[in-house]
A and B are shown apart, each in its own frame.
Chain A
């Protein structure tokens, strides 16, 4: 049996593809490729789904984070606090606006450890950038409280987390701004790159709309120097088609995660993280910590189970981070997790039989 990590070929079967292509055919007829009506429809619907006043579509999730930071005026001389076990773009975005990333360690759920934020704050700190790593909401109430204590902005890196929520509040509705990615392997995804910024701040939203489109007030006048970071209209068509399916998909991912959790609960070589009930994890990544990782990965590959590692090198140990002057041992929890974490297939298109087969193979490996 094969248990694939990537689900896109199961999702976009002939009928599904045809349904979207029909909508694309209509778009091609009109030629409205630049911030066309589907982009505006998408922005309206996603903002309603998250429960924020504004959503502005962007070209990528990285752009979304860059814009989410810049909209709050974060730039050179400022420090932004985030974590080291995230996708490079989190830090790439901070550096792109000219600010300095400051790291704090993570907790046993792989989320930023809110109790360590206070110690990382300096007079230059401007914002907290917590990550919904793998789709899990971090401790947002504690993070918001820390931000209030120090008068900081909160920019949510909700890139993999459309469909996630904390105490019923959707990812992206806590901070001053939030960035989402719609890369193909995200819960809400398109046929290529796409992203979005969410905010309740009217002024930030107005600036975002200007800045992502060359600063153009209208065709002839530019108010500010801006960039081109528009959401592609063709991708908005795909996103609109998928939007209402995201929450049911996340429901299925949660069911699969619970099944794997239960199936592995007595395997002592595996650490399943705590699963607080008030956090709705979108499970973009189903991650556990394992013993003998290289051997397990090799064994699973041989058995047709496509497991991955996100990621083996934490960000502070990347070559790109050398000027930040961190070293091994600075973030012991994240470093330990990087050494033994594994991402198992956990997507919504897996059958129970496939999930059970994967559980069985892992148990066999550990002779359980």
Chain B
């Protein structure tokens, strides 16, 4: 692979900014010998719950496990349906499929690329067990109407907040509006460990108490198993790292937003650019533009050393894994429109001014020709 002038991510750079703090936190865990759960995990959970404005947070191994655990708590299984968005990462749907349920999809809106609440009601059947709106790219789904429809039908809303740590909607953080919020803290996320990690937020005490057991073999204490379950614990090492990262999160989000504003101002009118809806705070997990003539644009950017990506070139219903679902892309015209146009531009605080200019000029020069 050729060396890119502007790589899509620079995880090493981010980690290097806080390396001393990270290594000190890791060393503390090693010295304590508490490698499994323990005070670092508890501290992270307390702080993360406070950050999101929920009563509880439960650390888990990864974002996919978070979704699976919460759907399991609702009894989702064979014969049930779970509604989500078709343009997300596979886990939004696979979490339901892996429990034996059938994922159903509701098309999204062009402006925020999130579930269209106007189409939600028509997708609900007597078998619908949960609605999983996704806060894609760090933009909040339009939760108020979604919650209203769900409430009318008595269906739980599980927020797929994997891409939206810190995002707000009408002043509330994502993860605090539904029955539970499921976060991924994978290295590419705004808040991340140095490896896989996840967390579930909720204000439901019963769910909280169940999750503490469900992520740890169903153990009530060392010797008694209340129900069969798995090991989906958040690694203590990752919790220690996350406690360091959490101190910096709001600063990093502010840095991302500044670059997003710079891109937005420079590219508006050239391509479709993401916009913040009133009352919300977009955290720009990805800066996703809508671009005509995408293959040529990507070529053009690559020639200039800009590594842009597509999240994702195949919507979930188009994947081989979805062949048993009996869905056609014709049912999701907006998603189909988006799939051919979306481009994620490199955006991270460690970019130099020259790199940012290379990205902006790259896009602009393509459409000026």
Contact = CB atoms under 8 A, between A and B. Distances in A.
A89 interface: yes
Interface in B285-306: none
A234 B193 CA distance: 10
B62 A320 contact: no
A9 B235 contact: no
B235 A319 contact: no
B224 A222 contact: no
Interface of B: 9-16, 19, 22-23, 26-27, 29-31, 33, 35-36, 61-65, 68, 89-91, 93-94, 97-98, 100, 186-187, 193-196, 217-220, 223-231, 233, 235-238, 310, 312-314, 319-321
Interface stretch (A58-66, A264-272, A352-360): A58-66
A366 interface: no
13 contacts: A12-B30, A31-B15, A34-B196, A59-B62, A89-B230, A96-B230, A193-B233, A222-B90, A225-B94, A227-B65, A232-B238, A233-B195, A320-B228
A20 B238 CA distance: 16
B320 A29 contact: no
Given A17-B30, A192-B237, A227-B65, A24 B217 contact: no
B227 A320 contact: yes
B195 A28 contact: no
A17 B217 CA distance: 30
A222 B98 CA distance: 14
A228 B228 contact: no
A232 B97 CA distance: 25
Nearest to B192: A33
Nearest to B63: A228
Contacts of A5: none
A249 interface: no
B36 A222 contact: no
A313 interface: yes
Q: Which one of A6, A8, A229 has the greatest number of beta carbons of chain B within 10 Å? A: A229
A214 B316 CA distance: 12
Interface residues of A, number: 66
- State the 10 A-B residue pairs at the shortest beta-carbon distance, nearest first: A31-B11, A31-B12, A95-B228, A62-B231, A232-B195, A225-B94, A192-B235, A60-B231, A228-B64, A228-B62
Nearest to A7: B33
Contacts of A319: 220, 224-227
B230 A234 contact: no
Interface majority SS on B: helix, strand, loop or mixed?
Answer: mixed
B228 A91 contact: yes
Contacts of B33: 6, 8-9, 12, 184
Contacts of A193: 36, 61, 231, 233, 235
Given A221-B320, A232-B237, 16 more contacts: A6-B33, A28-B16, A28-B19, A33-B187, A76-B100, A191-B30, A214-B94, A222-B320, A224-B321, A226-B321, A227-B94, A228-B64, A313-B224, A318-B224, A319-B227, A320-B218
A190 B9 CA distance: 28
Contacts of A295: none
A12 B312 CA distance: 43
A211 to B, nearest CB: 10
A93 B23 CA distance: 34
Contacts of A227: 64-65, 68, 94, 98
B321 A88 contact: no
Contacts of A20: 30
A92 interface: yes
Contacts of B235: 192-193, 232, 235
Contacts of A315: 225
B321 A223 contact: yes
A253 B191 CA distance: 42
Contacts of B97: 225
Interface string A52-70: 0000000111110010000
Contacts of A313: 223-224
Given A183-B36, A227-B98, A28 B90 contact: no
B196 A228 contact: yes
A221 B231 contact: no
A202 interface: no
A51 interface: no
Contacts of B310: 220
Nearest to B64: A228
Contacts of B22: 28
A89 B217 contact: yes
Interface in A1-51: 6, 8-9, 12, 17, 20-21, 24-25, 27-34
A120 B29 CA distance: 46
B35 A21 contact: no
Contacts of B320: 221-224
A311 interface: yes
Given A89-B217, A320-B218, A21 B23 contact: yes
A315 B223 CA distance: 10
Q: Which one of B35, B224, B231, B312 has the greatest number of beta carbons of chain A within 10 Å? A: B231
Contacts of A61: 231
Contacts of A92: 217-218, 225, 228-231
Given A193-B235, A227-B64, A215 B23 contact: no
A31 B230 contact: no
